[in-house]
A = this chain, B = another copy of it.
Amino acid sequence: MSNAVEQVLKPKLAVEIAGLKLKNPIMPASGTFGYGEEYSPYIDLNQLGAIVTKGMSLNPKAGNNTPRICETVSGMLNAIGLQNVGVDAFIKDKMAFLSQYDTPVIVNFFGNTQEEYGEVAARLDDVPGVAALEMNISCPNVKHGGIVFGTDPQAAAAVVTSVRKRTTKPLIVKLTPNVTDIQILARATEEAGADALSLINTLTGMAVDIKTRKPRLANTIGGLSGPAIRPVAVRLVHQVVQAVKVPVIGIGGITCAADALEFLIVGAKAVQVGTANFVNPDAMATIIADLEKFCVEEGIADINDLIGTLEL
């Protein structure tokens, strides 16, 4: 009895994804939390379920011309252009800081060709402290007319297969929402060897300055993120959970525990918080605390008992 009371007082928030043990299901979304260090004055990185880094490429990338961001109604557009220090500099300069923490580090990465993807994965494979890789397949395949890998089931499967061969780390494949049928993509990447799927990346969007008649982003189009996109993200996660067996990580417009819970209830094993970090550097700490409160209030001893309990 006293044991049961204690359990309710301190619900279990730990989840496991592809062998990765997370203290809780909350982690940042790639590109919104820098290399971890940037937010370390404001939030204790040891609290997080995992740390997900900015996307890494084989060579350093300078990124797009400016303006790169613009605010929209309850959302923002970005076309950063995947600016990053390159995988080698990352390993050399950024991993030491991240390794101080008792929190798994998930390295997000991408390439412009299938080969590049494989090579980045290979370079990260033997890096101690890298707990898992998250593969961003929302990039144009420069060898095939710039079609985005993640919108074509064949291309997506092929690139995942080739990365799978070059890494022994758990491989999370991050899906783009800008497709007709996400379930086809989800199954294709699962079969190609993904250990987990994460979604959604940003919705493609655009905004215009009506005075100058120019796009608000130098790149014309960009990725829409923030609370505005959450209903689309929840729907896609729901569909993917039904289509695959591997665990799914939900992303899109999460700002508070209630938002995170929508994803967990539809079946996401964990969630990533993106744009909300910009608004509240301690958003994830608040979410973790409030998740715990919610479990206590609802008498949930283990968050795993809540995951996927959507009633249809």
Contacts and interface: CB of A to CB of B under 8 A. Distances in A.
Interface of A: 72-75, 77, 151, 178-181, 203-208, 210-215, 220-221, 224, 227-232, 234-235, 238, 253, 258, 261-262, 265-266, 294, 298, 309-312
Dominant SS at the A interface? mixed
B73 A207 contact: no
Contacts of A262: 207-208, 210
A7 to B, nearest CB: 20
A253 B204 CA distance: 15
A231 B210 contact: no
Contacts of A265: 208, 210, 213
Determine how many copies of this chain the complex contains.
2
B227 A311 contact: no
A234 B206 contact: yes
23 contacts: A73-B230, A74-B75, A178-B180, A179-B180, A180-B180, A203-B203, A203-B231, A205-B235, A206-B231, A206-B234, A206-B238, A207-B230, A207-B234, A208-B261, A208-B266, A210-B262, A212-B311, A213-B309, A213-B311, A215-B312, A220-B238, A221-B238, A224-B231
Nearest to A227: B73
Among all A-B residue pairs, the 10 with the closest Cβ atoms: A205-B231, A228-B228, A206-B235, A74-B74, A73-B227, A208-B262, A210-B261, A179-B180, A73-B74, A206-B234
A234 B220 contact: no
B266 A74 contact: no
B207 A231 contact: yes
Given A212-B311, A228-B229, A73 B253 contact: yes
